Structure 1
Amino acid sequence: MNNKTKVLVIDDDVNICELIRLYMEKEGFEVLTIYNGIKAVEAFKTFAPNIVILDIMLPGADGWQVCREIRKISNIPIIMLSAKGETFDKVLGLELGADDYIVKPFEPKELVARVKAVLRRYEHRDIDVQEVVYPNLVINKSDYTLKVNGNYLDVPPKELELLYFLASNPNKVFTREQLLEQVWGFDFYGDSRTVDVHIKRLREKLEGENQNWQLKTVWGVGYKFEVK
């Protein structure tokens, strides 16, 4: 029986794929490389990886589309890997559910370290039943479900993780940078727009649902989960 951690690498650059394969296999990972976006989702289903390294510029279907399709069926960690270094691309990748974002050219050893760090966070979150309960609100980070007024709401993984973290620390104010570090697990180059976008989307889903708690902006500082 093969118990190796499996890495799916999706990139149209054969040389980059082989470089990643070399470093990952040296660390004991099992690696499958795919060069086409259309074939990537099927490969994901059959290979059943523990983590995905995903390029943006792909033939057939781009990395954004692949990320969306994977997120429809799985919460497996995704690291976006791209020559696109603009803030917009990084934010979009995180908004679509990516767990990390690395810009080419990159140091292979740094990529390996990022992979291990993301896997540690992912594996750790499944150790115990992680659930926060308030009146008419149940946030379960073990099975990634959000229940409001008895009804389940569909939310992307990062939105749920952000809500869970804030609700686990009621009435405590966190800066955007602290939330990036705690929820995304790294300092996202000082750009906080992705936090604002996730808060806005959560508010749209939760607005008017309960008067006992709310996601509140503390102007000039950040956000808190306020419990009355």
Structure 2
Amino acid sequence: MEDRRVAVVVEDDDDIRGLMVALLGQSGFEVIATSNGTDGVTAAQEFDPVLITVDLGLPDIDGYEVTRRVRRFTDAYVVMLTARGEEIDTLMGLDAGADDYVTKPFRPREMRARIEAMLRRPRSGRISGQDSAAPPVSPQGTTPAPAPSANHGQVPAMAPSATPATPAPGVPVVPAAAGGPTSGPVPVPGTETGLRLDLDGLELFPDLHHVETEGREIPLTPTEFLLLETLMRSGRVVRSKTELSRIIRGDEPDHGSYVSAADERTVEVHLGNLRRKLGDSPKSPRWVQTVRGVGYRMAGSPQLVG
């Protein structure tokens, strides 16, 4: 049985929900659509999606709380959708664990491009502590293949995949549209089993999407993992916020594409979350250093083992 990509859409607006279902279906996803936050969290637990889109204004719990709850058990890519465009709203969304924040109205083509860029980042498939039992395969019979993988910047990434479960009563499942991606994942050099980057008690396993500090597992979002791996592979070389912004969205670091102040602020928020999870102080960093006015680098040169 081939793997299938599953997306959960949490949106109370009928028109936007229908648009997201159609857009993601055309991109090769099997879509589970819900109209409130509670059902959205339940669907994310049951179907183990690779992607979750969350509306900020929901009738029961808001999108921030939905994101915080799903982050307890999944490392799925989370895109927050909202009509609010203030910087504080964006920062609160990212701080809750979202990977991207898109304001309405949005252009469907741009949304698809942003989602495909996210899917090229590493993903382990589960957060530590999540139930390891695999859900049963949906009987729908459609089998969209996972998106092709790509290597952006200096960070190898494997194409994600997911296995959906049998739909719960009352939760609609939309099969992926025909004509979606057909090529399977391509192995990326440098991700052999056992490979790790090691720096002063911090260990990162690229092929496993796994990070430990002195034997303690650190659950990271895909964006946090990507930033940490980029910095560890760069060692003492400083990476600017502009470069890191491009890497986050799937571009080459020297691509030349426009990076806004909000994009750079997003990098700051993600790195702040990363440092907090690692227990690393920005004033006296053990691992991630800020080079004021330039960017970020590691406090030492990580060893490549394996």
Distance 1:2 1:42, change over 3 A: farther
Q: Which residue of 2 aligns with 1:154?
A: 218
Question: 2 CA distance for matches of 1:107 and 1:162?
Answer: 27
Give percent identity, aligned residues only.
30
Q: Which residue of 2 aligns with 1:13?
A: 13
Q: Which residue of 1 aligns with 2:280?
A: 206
Question: 2 CA distance for matches of 1:26 and 1:180?
Answer: 27
Q: Which residue of 1 aligns with 2:295?
A: 222
Q: Does residue 265 of structure 2 align to residue 193 of structure 1?
A: yes
Q: Which residue of 1 aligns with 2:23?
A: 23
Query: Which range moved further: 130-139 or 54-63?
Result: 130-139
- Per-residue CA shift, 1:187-209, capped at 9, x if unaligned? 7632233433444451771359x
**Equivalent pair of 2:122/2:209 in contact (CA under 8 Å):** no
Question: 2 CA distance for matches of 1:33 and 1:188?
Answer: 32
Q: Does residue 136 of structure 2 align to residue 136 of structure 1?
A: no
Give the number of the structure whose residues are more often strand, by fraction.
Answer: 1
Give the number of the structure whose residues are more often helix, by fraction.
Answer: 1
Alignment of 1:1-228 (within 5 A): 3-122=3-122, 124=149, 125-126=157-158, 128=191, 129=193, 131-148=196-213, 150-157=214-221, 158-183=223-248, 185=250, 189-191=260-262, 192-200=264-272, 202=275, 205-207=279-281, 214-227=287-300
> What TM-score do you get using the length of structure 2 for normalisation?
0.64
Distance 1:31 1:214, change over 3 A: closer
Q: How many residues align?
A: 225
| Cα offset, 1:140, TM superposition | 2.5
Q: Return the letter of the residue paired with 2:5.
A: T
Q: Return the letter of the residue paired with 2:118.
A: V
> What TM-score do you get using the length of structure 1 for normalisation?
0.83
**Equivalent pair of 2:122/2:225 in contact (CA under 8 Å):** no
Q: CA RMSD for the aligned pairs? A: 2.9
3-state DSSP class of the match of 1:91? helix
Question: 2 CA distance for matches of 1:18 and 1:68?
Answer: 25
Q: Which residue of 1 aligns with 2:170?
A: none
Question: 1 CA distance for matches of 2:113 and 2:31?
Answer: 16
| Cα offset, 1:153, TM superposition | 4.8
Query: Which range moved further: 181-190 or 34-43?
Result: 181-190
Asked which structure has the greater RCO (Cα within 8 Å, sep 6+), the reply is 2
3-state DSSP class of the match of 1:168? helix
Q: Return the letter of the residue paired with 2:88.
A: F
Question: 2 CA distance for matches of 1:96 and 1:117?
Answer: 21
Question: 1 CA distance for matches of 2:27 and 2:290?
Answer: 43
Gaps of 5+ in 1: none
